[in-house]
Amino acid sequence: MIDIATRLLRRRHALDGPAVVHETWGSSIVVEIGELLIKASGDRSTTAEALVAGRARAAGVPAPDVIDSGVDARLPGGRWMIMKRMPGTSWDAGSADDDQITSVIDQVGNLLIKLRAVRLPGWGWIDDTGHGTSDSWSQWLRRQVTDSATTLVDRLPPDFVRDAYEAIDRAAPELAAGSLLNGDLGLSHVLVDSSGRTVTGLLDWAAAIIGDPLYDVATFSMGGPAGDPIQQVPQPRLIAEYAARTGNPVDDRRVDLYRMINHLFNACWSVDNDVLSWTDDLCRTVVALLTKINS
């Protein structure tokens, strides 16, 4: 499949030079030649990803510029998209100084406010027409609980789903409309220039959802194992930045709820990708957050 994607990229855009195969997880492939990348995915629709990246760009968020797309049954998901390589490198928050962290977090907060203004119909995962596939934000959250509990059935308490539904009822807001969210905004998805102070792009919109803007804020940088110290570098600052920009205090219980959902995703990912050293700690953190929400 890598060879097929490489040949397709060369043929469509008359490219020479070496092909670079990017590391991916799941059933996705990404190949880069020169300034262009081709992506195919059996996990998420590249049609939907291209659509939401375009909506983000239109709102002033530096998302990938998708210039070509098509269908090929030999590739994962049967679809592909070609995008321009974005400038910059993934942000290394662990080696950033205080001024760099402050600058990057300020810009990320500003970009999330821009996304907050992008309204799309429906809730949750986004289909190829730009509509959410759930009837409400709470329904989407419940579905993530149910689906995750199936994967983690032997690692969570017997009453986990019931108690998690109660937590959603307690903490999830009733929203009139949802905003476009990246859905998986990790440190590696934030590109910065050589100074380490200027954000040049936000990568990877495959997990984009329609929902509560606080979700991206609460889960930023939290795509790894439970208790990763790097999470404490940007998280408190981004929450404070978001509260200042919106003029409203952040609801700690909602933050806990969204982190619980995020840790469920991480735990499922660790099982699916055989990174089992993460799984039990993530599940324990999920239960601790659930207890805190419902107390």
pLDDT in tens, 243-275: 999 999 999 999 999 999 999 999 999 999 999
Long-range contact set of residues 188-193: C-beta below 8 Å, sequence gap at least 24: 188/90, 188/91, 189/90, 190/90, 190/91, 190/104, 190/108, 191/62, 191/86, 191/87, 191/88, 191/89, 191/90, 191/91, 192/88, 192/89, 192/90, 192/91, 192/104, 193/87, 193/88
Distance between CA 26 and CA 24 in Å, rounded?
7
- 10 Å CB burial of residue 289 (0-12, 13-18, 19+) is buried
Contact present, 276 and 220 (Cβ < 8 Å): no
By C-alpha distance, which of 208, 205, 238 is closest to 221?
Answer: 238
CATH 3.30.200.20 residue spans of the chain = 2-84
Q: 38 falls in which pLDDT band (50, 70, 90)?
A: very high
What digits encode the pLDDT tens for the residues 171-227?
Answer: 999 999 999 999 999 999 999 999 999 999 999 999 999 999 999 999 999 999 999
**82 sits in which H/E element:** strand 79-84
Superfamily of domain 89-294: Aminoglycoside phosphotransferase (APH), C-terminal lobe (3.90.1200.10)
For the segment 94-148, what is each residue's pLDDT rounded down to a tens digit? 999 999 999 999 999 999 999 999 999 999 999 999 999 999 999 999 999 999 9
For residues 42 and 77, the answer to whether their CB atoms sit within 8 Å is: yes
Average pLDDT, integer, range 76-101: 97
Q: What is the mean pLDDT of residues 43-69?
A: 97
What number does CATH give the domain 2-84? Answer: 3.30.200.20
Q: What is the structure's pLDDT at 25?
A: 79
What is residue 9's predicted lDDT score, i.e. its pLDDT? 97
Within the chain, all domains assigned CATH 3.90.1200.10 are found at 89-294
pLDDT above 90 for 27: no
The β-bridge relationship of strands 123-126 and 119-120 is: unpaired
